[in-house]
Structure 1
Amino acid sequence: MSPGGLSRRSFAIAMLVAGALFMENLDGTIIATGLPAMAGSFRTGVVDVNIGVTSYLLALAVFIPISGWMADRFGTRKVFSSAIAIFTLASIWCGSCHTLTQFTLARVVQGLGGSMMVPVGRLMTVRETPKHQIMRTIAYTVWPALVAPILGPPLGGWITTYFNWRWMFLLNVPIGLVLLVCTFILVRDERRHRTTPFDWIGFVLVGLACFSLIEWMEFSSKSPVRWSLVTGLGVLAMSSAFGAVWHLRRTKAPLFHLDMLKVATFRAVTSGGSWFRMAIFVTPFLLPLMFQVGFGMSAFAAGSLVVAVFAGNLAMKPLTTPLLRRYGFRRVLIVNGALTALVFFACARLSPATPHWAILLVLFLSGLGRSMQLTSLTTLCFADLPEDRMSSGSAMFAMAQQLNTSIGVGLGAMIIRLVAWRYDGGVEHLREFHAAFWVVGLLMLCGLPSILALRPDAGDTVAGRSTALLAAEESSV
């Protein structure tokens, strides 16, 4: 037997999935510190490179819903190994790009691999583990991956400062090769017959709406504004969104069941919670840029500071469940949301004259608030959801979370550009980043009304349910 009483096979597959999650999380956090150096290589503006971040996140959001269907149709081993191969090959492509267009396309392909890699990996873990051991197994997959966000920023800064930013992506190659070999040794090629067809029309409409929205944000903040393109993208985004809602309400087997929005807690998390997530996920993008462009720090020094955010995230994890049990979801989300907004406002006051200990304290506190808010939101999302809607709710929430992240990064870049235009057109002053953090704090406050509208005991009656706590485990990564 392996640790925790798990069978050797269950433990080995859990470690395999943990490796895939580690690689994806490392790739997602390591890139932020290298953006200024990448902008120099691509001969473009620092903020323009954000398209490489948003395109990856958008690909994750769009393709996540199809991962379960792919696993059932073609087998878990084929899909999981293919996803790892795509992610690894796309990493090589990212590391060899010479233009921003090439890099954006490479990141989209990388996002395609990532969208199937982790969801299918978790599906493998659940299928290979007895029900009474699922929580323990998921913990084994999550905890090693928590190291990646702490390791990513300083590692990315060190590589960028002393070597070349391209090695940040080539680092995935040996990890991917090891994961591929282990996959063919450990994973059975299981297939399952689906009783309902996949909703391809809903998939296309939802994906088109997401793509159009992100591209609209990107082009609407570039100078000079191409109004015909911006208007066309806006019309396409709205029409696709309305068409998707109309289709999902009428089809027998929709991509997402919209009746889940009748559940008050799920509705609050997917609507008002989106404001929280946009604010939370844009922070790791803004901080390294502010420290390098605004403070004049090296990539390594900037990455070393950002570690404090993820250290706070990790430090809060053991306290999350006790605090939720003691004070309830509604109270925790309101108080923590307000306090986290204040911390983001404090980020808007940071300057090169601020003592390093004060900067580290602010970043650590932001990490504490980030972790608590994300875990509380994700747990509450599943707390009152009926069992027959868990799968659809999980897919919808995962897609919404990635889309919120992409919108948040795009919004942060938009604010920086707009403030830069207001003055001299160059992104080289602290005022652009300070303005962005003021907006981030306001986003946090915008999410509070939907939580205030919940009943005081919302979700608390099932706070200990395994499905809810399972979501909490995963959300902290």
Structure 2
Amino acid sequence: MLIASLEFIQNGMLNFAAAAVMGGIGASPEEFSYSAMAYATTAILMLFNHHWFSRRLGMRRFVRGSVVVFALGALLCATANSPALFVLGRAVQGLGGAVFFTAARVEINALHDRSRMSGLLCFGYALMLGAALGPLLGAQALRYLDWRWIFWGMLPWLVLALPATRLLQQQPEPALPAAHSSHALAWLVTAVLLGQWLIQQLPYDFFSRPQWLLLLLLACVATALLVIWLKSRQIAAADGWRPLAQVRYVLGLGFYFCCYLLVAANSYILPVMVQQALGFDVPTTGQLLSVSFIAGMAFATVYSALLLRRRAPGLRMMLLFACGLLALYGGLMAAVSPEVGMARLAGLLLLNGGFMSLFIMAVAQGTFRGVDAAHFARAYQSKNIIRQLAISMGVAGSTVFLQARNAQHYQRLAEGYSWHNPLFNDAMAQLQAALPQLGQAQQLAVLAGELGRQSMLLSCQDFFHAECVLAGLLMVLVLWQRQFD
């Protein structure tokens, strides 16, 4: 639990405090997004080689080294005074943080029967508790300290986790061949960099330079195909992947991708909606964002209890139920008004937590059911590569969506921002009556701020309408497939 929660706590705090960090290092949104690209790139490269490193060094040394590397990255970020140094620190953190999730899950897979079920439940608790603590701790760091404590505050967690690595297995295999040939590794690095560059540039060039993004996409696909061809020439390595070429596993990866994409998009949209559109303060926003993950722990406990008593419904029924929660959540969030209270918002976020935990638990059961123990580590590292890609694409895609919808709504609402509009004149008269101390220019500024807030709320509501549609498509896919019964 200590190892698995580290990355989620750190990234949860950083995502919540992104605006404060940008101000602290003097970075623009585009410069700050390079740090996310750097983290995802180094994490994906490490995940591609996770199986080889864990067997070559032994899991204990591998995880210990990763904790040290992650701490070094945190120190670089905490002392950064420029965007370049901060990007370097996040790249170093990606090398260490990519290991924790997979290593913890592989260790749990070595348990048996009821112990494994308890281990999986604790593993889920660690992930959701870490994700819940991220916004809470980030809000308190901003309220009482400053943004650098987003990273200084990780050091006690790392100190606690390091002694726990004594419990990990230590069985190195020094005679292992290299995970990739030198040519394949070079092209793999190129493919990952191109893919992450494409995702990173998506919010900024989607409307202004789409042809540039298309060229990046074609280059990324061509490089990835070249890597696959070079890997196919390594017979031993290819044999390691061949047992995973089954419909159930590939379908499971698709479900994982959809889930992490939606979770990442929600994690980006929710703070924007709660703070900018609904006007909640920073500590309250942190508390609200934690509700989903705490609710996920409760749903996971109930589902695990049903599994232990063999009373749980089938996987298809559970996936449909989870998608139903997502559709209900999206529909109700799309109808939220500016007068919504904290209690109602918290109640809606319970639905999101139920979708996250139940969907992922059901998908995990179906995806790895046909994977034997000898190939589980490789299968899980591939799943986590999909996770990193989905998170990057979820944030980039939701940014583009919000930009496009906000521009359109703002333009339409601004058409009524005129002295020739009776409603505009009524609003100005009400402001004059309520705030007579303000001059006309200040009253116009108040209305302009309200215009921006309303356009942002409408844009967020559009996102949740789209989420309802995606939930419906997921239901159709669940009903159509025959692998997860």
Q: TM-score range by the shorter chain?
A: 0.7 to 0.9
Aligned to 2:384: 398
Larger radius of gyration: 2
User: Contact 1:73–1:192 at 8 Å: present in 2 too?
Assistant: yes
- Looking at structure 2, the residues matched to 257 and 362 of structure 1 have their Cα atoms a distance apart, in angstroms, of 44
Please state if 1:76 is matched with 2:59: yes
In structure 2, the CA distance between the partners of 1:44 and 1:257, relative to structure 1 (3 Å rule), is same
Aligned to 1:286: 269
Instruction: Name the aligned partner's letter for residue 45 of structure 2.
Output: V
- Looking at structure 1, the residues matched to 299 and 276 of structure 2 have their Cα atoms a distance apart, in angstroms, of 30
In structure 2, the CA distance between the partners of 1:190 and 1:264, relative to structure 1 (3 Å rule), is closer
Instruction: Name the aligned partner's letter for residue 172 of structure 2.
Output: R
1:386 positional shift:
4.6
Aligned to 2:357: 371
Q: For residues 38-62 of structure 1, what are the alpha-carbon distances to aligned partners after superposition, in whole Å with 9 as ceiling and x for unaligned? A: 2333455668745544543443333
- Looking at structure 2, the residues matched to 370 and 362 of structure 1 have their Cα atoms a distance apart, in angstroms, of 13
1:422 positional shift:
4.0
1:279 positional shift:
1.0
User: Contact 2:128–2:294 at 8 Å: present in 1 too?
Assistant: no
Please state if 1:164 is matched with 2:120: no
Instruction: Name the aligned partner's letter for residue 436 of structure 1.
Output: F
Instruction: Name the aligned partner's letter for residue 329 of structure 1.
Output: L
Q: 1:252 aligns with which of 235, 240, 263?
A: 235
User: Contact 1:58–1:210 at 8 Å: present in 2 too?
Assistant: yes
Instruction: Name the aligned partner's letter for residue 134 of structure 2.
Output: G
User: Contact 1:23–1:175 at 8 Å: present in 2 too?
Assistant: yes
Aligned to 2:402: 416
User: Contact 2:232–2:238 at 8 Å: present in 1 too?
Assistant: no
Gapped runs of 5+ residues in structure 1? 1-17, 461-477
User: Contact 2:334–2:465 at 8 Å: present in 1 too?
Assistant: yes
1:113 positional shift:
0.5
Please state if 1:191 is matched with 2:191: no
Please state if 1:22 is matched with 2:5: yes
Instruction: Name the aligned partner's letter for residue 199 of structure 1.
Output: H
- Looking at structure 2, the residues matched to 203 and 325 of structure 1 have their Cα atoms a distance apart, in angstroms, of 47
1:316 positional shift:
0.5
Please state if 1:433 is matched with 2:416: no
TM-score, with normalisation over the residues of structure 1?
A: 0.80
Structure 1 window deviating more from structure 2 (201-210 vs 289-298): it is 201-210
- Looking at structure 1, the residues matched to 201 and 91 of structure 2 have their Cα atoms a distance apart, in angstroms, of 18
User: Contact 2:260–2:387 at 8 Å: present in 1 too?
Assistant: yes
1:379 positional shift:
1.4
Structural mapping, 1:261-300, within 5 Å: 262-300=245-283
Instruction: Name the aligned partner's letter for residue 203 of structure 2.
Output: S
Structure 1 window deviating more from structure 2 (130-139 vs 363-372): it is 130-139
Aligned to 1:384: 370
TM-score, with normalisation over the residues of structure 2?
A: 0.78
- Looking at structure 1, the residues matched to 40 and 278 of structure 2 have their Cα atoms a distance apart, in angstroms, of 27
1:378 positional shift:
1.5
- Looking at structure 2, the residues matched to 48 and 351 of structure 1 have their Cα atoms a distance apart, in angstroms, of 34
Please state if 1:88 is matched with 2:115: no
- Looking at structure 2, the residues matched to 378 and 187 of structure 1 have their Cα atoms a distance apart, in angstroms, of 23
User: Contact 2:8–2:127 at 8 Å: present in 1 too?
Assistant: yes
- Looking at structure 1, the residues matched to 2 and 338 of structure 2 have their Cα atoms a distance apart, in angstroms, of 38
Please state if 1:346 is matched with 2:327: no
- Looking at structure 1, the residues matched to 239 and 267 of structure 2 have their Cα atoms a distance apart, in angstroms, of 30
User: Contact 2:9–2:130 at 8 Å: present in 1 too?
Assistant: yes
- Looking at structure 1, the residues matched to 122 and 325 of structure 2 have their Cα atoms a distance apart, in angstroms, of 31
Structure 1 window deviating more from structure 2 (333-342 vs 312-321): it is 333-342
Gapped runs of 5+ residues in structure 2? 412-448
Instruction: Name the aligned partner's letter for residue 454 of structure 1.
Output: Q
1:446 positional shift:
3.8
Aligned to 1:222: 204
